[in-house]
A and B are shown apart, each in its own frame.
Chain A
Amino acid sequence: MHILVVDDERDVQILFEQRFRKEIKNNEIEFAFAFSGEEALQYLNQHDHGAVLILSDINMPGMSGLELLRHIKEKYHTPPPLVMMITAYGDAENYNTAMRLGADDFLTKPVEFNVLKEKLKAIQ
């Protein structure tokens, strides 16, 4: 499974690589990282159908996660990648907006990696 993680915190990459090191080793999951919304869109443009799942933070400088979500859902219709939003602010408004814009899931920080792994398994 191809997953694109979008977060402005660069250490997220190391964390995900460590957390999913078994899955990576077993080639079950392949990670790509983008550190802003713009970078994520750029990645998606370059790697057509590259990512099946996009995990995106919402609060980022520049393009926000929600904006990114809107772009993805508007541009990439076939097949539309799954987009999971991860945010520190799990308020109803953020959640509703994300859902309205077509988010497939909504997680709040701190990320429970066990829960995330379960969700990924379910998707697979």
Chain B
Amino acid sequence: MKWFIPLLLGLCPYILSAQVEPALLSSSMLTSSHQLYTGEITGWEFYPGIANPDSASQPSMWKTLRPADLSTSMADADGKLSGWLRLKFKMDIDLASKISGFRMGTWAATEVYLDGKHFQSFGQTGANRIGFKEYNPYQKWPSAIFLTPDTIHTLMVQVADRVSPFDHGQLQMQKVNPRAFLVFTTHEYNKGFLHALRQQHISTSVWISTCLLLSLLFWLMYFLHKEESYLKLFAILTTLSTLSSLGTAWSTSPDISYVAHCILDAAWSVFGWSMIGMTAVVLAGIFKAHIPRWIKLFFVAISIFGLVDGFVPGTISKIVAAALSFIIFGYLLFTSWRKIKGAQWAIVVGLLSTLVWLVIWAITRRETVASAILLSFPLSLLVYVALRFRAIQEEIRKSAEHVVALAEEKKKILTTQNELLEQQVEERTASLHQSLTELKSAQALLVQSEKMASLGQLTAGIAHEIQNPLNFVNNFSDVNKELLAEIKEAIEKGNFGEVGNTVTDILANEEKINHHGKRADAIVKGMLQHSRTSSGVKEPTDINALCDEYLRLAYHGLRAKDKSFNAMTKTDFDQSIGKVNVIPQDIGRVILNLITNAFYAVSEKQKALQTPYPLEGGPDYQPIVTVMTKHQLPLSGGRGSDGPIVTISVSDNGSGIPASALDKIFQPFFTTKPTGQGTGLGLSLSYDIVKAHGGELKVETKEGEGSVFIIQLPAN
């Protein structure tokens, strides 16, 4: 069917010329961008419907209507607008010489006929049964056109458009400036168009890549430095900025559909406004360190506004939103003005420079300036981060220095403390040394006092033991005195017969006096020997005599101290032991100690049984202390098996030693005696003495039946 349309149109100028005066087009009608928008020229006529208005079957019903005035009311129930537009015009020579191109600047699909000939299709009107397809007017190079001056030309345009699916109040062609419906372009425009296109591509690329890189950088930094929470805000802001710039660039690409264009347009609007809202959040985050609830609400609100405005653009709402945003920015800035410091100034500079660029752009309208507007704030974030990291690094360096200083200080303190400690250790060592010396002398004193204590126990016994020989001395001396008196008397009488016998008696008595005097002397010597510090010299000693002597001394000593005490003493001396090489004072002390202990044990048992005297009533308990010596060959395998040994055993039939005390009896200061009665050193010293003699001190005990202490000494 396409073939007949030019044929029909060819007739039109001649038919209609009489009705409408052609529009006169002159150079003065060119815009600053060197174009001539025909959309607003009066002289356009409109005929609705698909059918050709000039076909013979249709009566011509043209009415005057500019393309810019086409509206949704002219669309049918399906939202389709179809019709014909016609313009007759005449160009002066000046304009005709300038016009070189022709382009369509709206989303309407059109078939353009010039002077009855098909000139060009923009999109598909659907009239030729191919189907409707709107025309994407972006980044299109004008088609060349040649118009003769002062000639009446007729533009016949079949137009098809749809009501916008996003806004039922407007046609798709009204999305962009409807005045741009058919635009004559000049050579100048072509030049500017190329320049602008290049400029736009460059600035869009710069914008997108910068924003993309910034957002990538901030996200990366945020994931590496989660503690720097502002990085997240920056990352979000630059991401929004990236998305917005992508939306802008994409929505004006020359090959997308109207729907895609609208969605992308709305998208960049949402992202753009969100970015503005985010700017407020960032400012609050940077300056307030805390994002108030109302700022968050503002962000959400302005994002929603961006979405709505993306589909239903409104100039006043935009101005209000922008103004509100700037008021909020200003508020955030001024309320924190005094506190702004360091890296925060980068943000301030970024914000203010955005404002400055905005003003410059308003004046110059240059695409490069627009880039500056959009990039100056995101870039200031980068500067902020850089400065912030420098500050952090500075802080780290300072804290590292602090740590080093602290470590140094600690080291110094440690050194001082070490020195102090060493000094203290030295002092302690010295004092310990002194304590040890004191302890040693105290021990020596204790040993001496133990000796003295045992001597004290002996005193009464010694007195008793001395008493007997002294009695003899006195008595024999008395007898001798009498005998001498008798002799004197006999001599005076001349009775010499009995003198000889008497003298013999006197001599015998003298012998006795001498003997008992020596006996007393020996006892005193023994006592002195006991109290003296050990000579440390071993000498052949009659162990049996030693035992006998100490048994008597101990018995009488106890007897003197405690009159109620009585015990049976038994001795069983092995005469074959002969003299044993020992330090008599030391071994004597051991024997005395063991005997004293034995007496103590039996007396305690006696007291416990509360028998005033064992011979009458009560349990028949007879305290017995036995001292036994024995010369024996060593038991094979036993200790000291290198020679014969002498054993001295002191046994008692006391209460025995309880198992709990048995392992402690040889420990120094262990005593079962009431406080003040025992030094607790007796057995300990005894043990040491016997050990020093290369012997053993053993104990055998049975609770309730008695104990046996056995001294084993090498016989040689």
A residues lining the B interface (CB < 8 Å): 9, 11, 14-15, 18-19, 21, 59, 61-62, 64, 66-67, 70, 88-89, 91-94, 97, 100-101, 109-111, 113
Contacts and interface: CB of A to CB of B under 8 A. Distances in A.
Nearest to A94: B563
A59 B509 CA distance: 25
A101 B566 CA distance: 16
Interface in B180-226: none
B467 interface: yes
A11 B476 CA distance: 10
B475 A19 contact: yes
B467 A109 contact: yes
Contact of B563 (A11, A89, A101): A89
A1 B566 CA distance: 33
B512 A11 contact: yes
A109 B508 CA distance: 23
Contacts of B468: 9, 88, 109
A90 to B, nearest CB: 10
A93 B479 contact: no
Interface centre among A18, A91, A101 (most CB of B within 10 A): A18
16 contacts: A11-B516, A18-B483, A18-B505, A18-B509, A59-B556, A59-B559, A62-B568, A64-B566, A67-B615, A70-B615, A89-B559, A89-B560, A93-B563, A93-B612, A109-B471, A110-B475
Interface string B492-503: 000000000000
Contacts of B571: 61
Contacts of B641: none
Nearest to B472: A11
B569 A14 contact: no
B564 interface: yes
B130 to A, nearest CB: 154
A66 B467 contact: no
Contact of B464 (A18, A88, A94): A88
Given A19-B475, A94-B563, A61 B467 contact: no
B472 A15 contact: yes
Those 3 A-B pairs whose CB atoms lie nearest each other, nearest first: A91-B563, A18-B479, A110-B471
Given A14-B508, A66-B615, A88 B467 contact: yes
Contacts of B476: 15, 18
A15 B479 contact: yes
Contacts of B516: 11
B474 interface: yes
Contacts, number: 62
Contacts of B612: 93
Given A14-B508, A18-B505, 20 more contacts: A11-B512, A11-B515, A11-B516, A14-B509, A15-B472, A15-B479, A18-B479, A18-B509, A59-B559, A62-B568, A66-B615, A88-B464, A88-B468, A92-B563, A93-B612, A109-B467, A110-B467, A110-B470, A110-B475, A113-B478
Given A61-B571, A88-B467, A110-B467, A15 B475 contact: yes
B512 A14 contact: yes
A61 B569 contact: yes
B523 to A, nearest CB: 14
A111 B471 CA distance: 8
Interface string B569-591: 11100000000000000000000
A38 B559 CA distance: 23
Contacts of B505: 18, 21
B613 interface: yes
B461 to A, nearest CB: 11
A101 B616 CA distance: 10
Interface of B, helix, strand, loop or mixed by DSSP: helix
A6 to B, nearest CB: 15
B393 to A, nearest CB: 103
Contacts of A15: 472, 475-476, 479, 512
A63 to B, nearest CB: 9
Contacts of A67: 615
A92 B516 CA distance: 29
A93 B612 CA distance: 9
A54 to B, nearest CB: 18
Nearest to B552: A61
Contacts of A97: 613, 615
A107 to B, nearest CB: 13
Contacts of A113: 475, 478
Contacts of B479: 15, 18-19
A88 B616 CA distance: 23
Contacts of A11: 472, 512, 515-516
A15 B483 CA distance: 13
Nearest to B559: A89
Interface string B543-565: 00000000000001001100110
A15 B479 CA distance: 8
B559 A110 contact: no
A111 B407 CA distance: 95
A113 B478 CA distance: 10
A21 B470 CA distance: 21
Contacts of A109: 467-468, 471
Contacts of B559: 59, 89
Contacts of A101: 615
A108 to B, nearest CB: 11
A93 B472 CA distance: 26
Contacts of A9: 468, 472
A18 B507 CA distance: 12
A103 to B, nearest CB: 13
Contacts of A64: 566, 568
B568 to A, nearest CB: 8
Contacts of A70: 615
Contacts of A14: 508-509, 512
Contacts of B560: 89
Contacts of B472: 9, 11, 15
Most buried by A among B470, B478, B564, B615: B615
Contacts of A21: 505
A97 B512 CA distance: 34
Contacts of B566: 64
A21 B504 CA distance: 14
A19 B479 CA distance: 6
Interface string B448-484: 0000000000000000100110111011101100010
Contacts of B613: 93, 97
B691 to A, nearest CB: 32
Nearest to A69: B615
Nearest to B508: A14
A88 B555 CA distance: 13
Nearest to B480: A18
A18 B505 CA distance: 8
B564 A93 contact: yes
Which of B476, B505, B566 has the most chain A CB atoms closer than 10 A to its own CB? B566
A11 B517 CA distance: 13
A75 B536 CA distance: 55
Nearest to B519: A11
